[in-house]
Amino acid sequence: MSDTFQMIAAPHTPFRPDGGLNLDVIGKQAELFLRQQIDGVFCCGTTGEGLSMTTAERVQMTERWVKAAAGKLRVIAHVGHNCQRDAADLAAAAKAAGANGVAAVAPHFLKPNTVEELTAFFAPVAAACAPLPFFFYDIPSLTNVRLSAAAFLDHAGGAIPNLGGVKFTNIDVITLQECLTAGGGKYEVFFGCDEMLLGALAVGVRRAVGSTYNYSSRLHREVIAAFEAGDVDIAADLQRKSVRMVRVLEKFGGPVRAGKAVMRLFGVDCGPVRPPLLPMSEAEVTALHAELVALGALNEPG
């Protein structure tokens, strides 16, 4: 497994003003990511409002991302669903489209109570995309499924032959370390909390998926470079800037709602959010842009 750090962006799904998909924007997103040294995309996840989309729309999104990536970006498609059959259908469609991997959140209405139940739910989903790697998307702050991702990897490894690892959007650094060593370290662990990247680097993480990487990959690359050079104080200062950026985004509704507005600064209009999120007013957008530009955490627009 390569030691080169992989930075994966979680792209926003572009919608038209009427709420429909605006697939033509995806090419612009892909071009932006390539200029910003992004290594891949995690489409139809939380940032992409995947669970606010229809199954057909999610298939369309994955197909278009694979086309736009043109083999230059790794494409991991999120297929999580409360319905196992729909999740498996999405996984099969992602494989057919040419995605490089598939991920899924745990079902979160009727929740699994054990790793055995979670494994049984995921097994046919993973089988539908085999031999592509299948990743558990652990995000307990939203699913409220608080099973140990490391325990899942240990148990599911024998039942899911194409288990690739975990997208760990979780602040439990103890379990993160256990994920990194599960199966003798054979699994890929993608860290999903941008504002804690430095802590993840310190315990050995070499892959990350983030919403703010859409527009602040430079800052986070600088965190990585400073850490690798042994300049921990500089890395910590840069990470604190990332934290301040996230706090600004939270003030305006979080990285999904506010993040879409930030994309306008880069000439990529991803349109409105979908309900239950509310659109930002122009006054909010102006104030958001002013705060983030003053902070100096964003990539150069050009």
Q: Give the pLDDT confidence of 123-179 residue by residue, as tens digits.
A: 999 999 999 999 999 999 999 999 999 999 999 999 999 999 999 999 999 999 999
Question: Is 257 a domain residue?
Answer: no
Select which of 95, 137, 241, 260 is catalytic: 137
Asked if residues 279 and 225 have their Cβ atoms less than 8 Å apart, the reply is: no
Instruction: Flag whether 286 is in a domain.
Output: no
What are the angstrom distances between the C-alpha of 93 and each of 17, 55, 57, 86, 102?
27, 10, 12, 10, 10
Q: How confident is the model at residue 301 (pLDDT cuts 50, 70, 90)?
A: confident
pLDDT of 236 over the 80 cut: yes
Range of the domain at 42: 6-231
In-domain check, residue 193: yes
Average pLDDT in the 83-102 region? 98
Q: Is the model's pLDDT at 1 over the cut of 60? A: no
213-233 tens-digit pLDDT: 999 999 999 999 999 999 999
Q: Do the domain assignments include residue 266?
A: no
- Domain-located, residue 250: no
- Residue range 89-114: average pLDDT? 98
Distance, in Å, from the CA atom of 143 to the CA atom of 108, rounded to the nearest integer, reads 5
Q: Which of 153, 183, 185, 184 is nearest to 168 (CA)?
A: 153
Question: What is the average pLDDT across 197-225?
Answer: 98
Query: pLDDT tens-digit profile of 55-80?
Result: 999 999 999 999 999 999 999 999 99
Residue 137 counted as domain residue: yes
DSSP secondary structure code for residue 15 in this structure: B
Let me know if residue 55 belongs to a domain. yes
Query: How many domains in the chain?
Result: 1
Pick left, alpha or beta for residue 226 (phi over 0 → left; psi -120 to 50 → alpha; otherwise beta): alpha
Catalytic annotation on 213?
no
Q: What is the tens place of the pLDDT at every residue in 2-59?
A: 578 999 999 999 999 999 999 999 999 999 999 999 999 999 999 999 999 999 999 9
Q: Output b/e per residue, 134-162; b: 16+ Cβ within 10 A.
A: bbbbbbbeebebebbbbbbbebbeeebee
3-class state of residue 194 by DSSP? helix
The mean pLDDT value for 261-272 works out to 96
Question: Among residues of the chain, what percentage have pLDDT more than 90?
Answer: 98
Q: What is the residue whose two structure tokens read 């979780």?
A: 170
**270 occurs within a structural domain:** no
- Told to judge if 95 belongs to the known catalytic residues of this protein, a careful annotator would answer no
pTM score above 0.85: yes
Average pLDDT over residues 244-272: 97
Percent of the chain past pLDDT 70, that is, above it, reads 99
Q: CATH number of the domain at 55, please.
A: 3.20.20.70
pLDDT at 302 over 80: no
pLDDT of residue 218: 97
The rounded distance, in Å, linking the Cα atoms of 160 and 120 is 9
Q: Which of 72, 95, 111, 167 is catalytic?
A: 167
